[in-house]
Amino acid sequence: MEKLSNNELSAQAYKEVRSMIINKKLVPGQKIVQDKLAENLGISRTPLRSALQMLEGEGLIESVPRKGVIVKEFTDREIVEIFDCRIALEVTAIRLFTDRASDAEISELRNLFLPFLNGKIDNDAYQKADAKFHDAIMLGSGNNFLHKLFHKGNLLVCIDLIGLLRQPDETLQEHMEMIDAIQKRDSDLAEELSRSHLDRTKQLILKKLNE
């Protein structure tokens, strides 16, 4: 079997560590013990360091003096900045999506939230549905550059690491109203509802900052 180069090992390690962060096998604030992680991945520390540098460049990990490398913990100010970016991108995406989405794509959005309309809501399941909803709108906008910007900035990954900032009983109805507006092909209303949905969470964080 041909031996992988350091570049190939770095790319492989990058994918695996990124997946561990996304799947919360490595959680925000957790120190990354490089010797142990390299051993678990079956590689030396050299390609692992390169992988960690890439992840640091993406804002998913950070080097902290006297602590080492840790999974990124977001400050309230950074969360506000993330929501500013999301508002800028997502209100454009939902307008485009409303104009071009098929009936099947709209039904898929609605089906994401139908399980939560009756009975107790599992927060983890709801958070996954929420992420799929926003990603589906970005992808379904038909604007490849918009979708790439959204993912290159790791916006959904960052939000997933932060967790739910408002409870599902607050946001479920907002999602359903957006889907209703999309189904009616009312792009103005869909854009307004999307902006309001994201801005409510942003204002919640701003209120904390000003206390």
Could you read off the pLDDT of 105-143 as tens digits, one per residue?
999 999 999 999 987 899 989 998 998 999 999 999 999
Q: Looking at 52, 71, 90, which one is the last position of a domain?
A: 71
Domain containing 129 — which CATH number? 1.20.120.530
Q: Looking at 44, 71, 98, which one is the last position of a domain?
A: 71
Q: Are 19 and 55 in contact (CB under 8 A)?
A: no
pLDDT above 90 covers what percent of the chain? 56
Give the chain's domain count: 2
Q: Looking at 71, 88, 122, which one is the last position of a domain?
A: 71
Give the model's pLDDT for residue 24. Answer: 83
Q: What is the mean pLDDT of residues 161-166?
A: 79
| Domain that includes residue 114, residue range | 76-210
Could you read off the pLDDT of 18-42 as tens digits, one per residue?
889 888 899 889 999 999 999 999 8
CA torsion, ordered 201, 58, 152, 168, to nearest 10 deg: -30
| 18-27, 158-167, 170-179: segment of lowest average pLDDT | 158-167
Give the model's pLDDT for residue 211. Answer: 65
Could you read off the pLDDT of 11-23 as tens digits, one per residue?
999 999 988 988 8
Residues 106 and 171 in one domain: yes
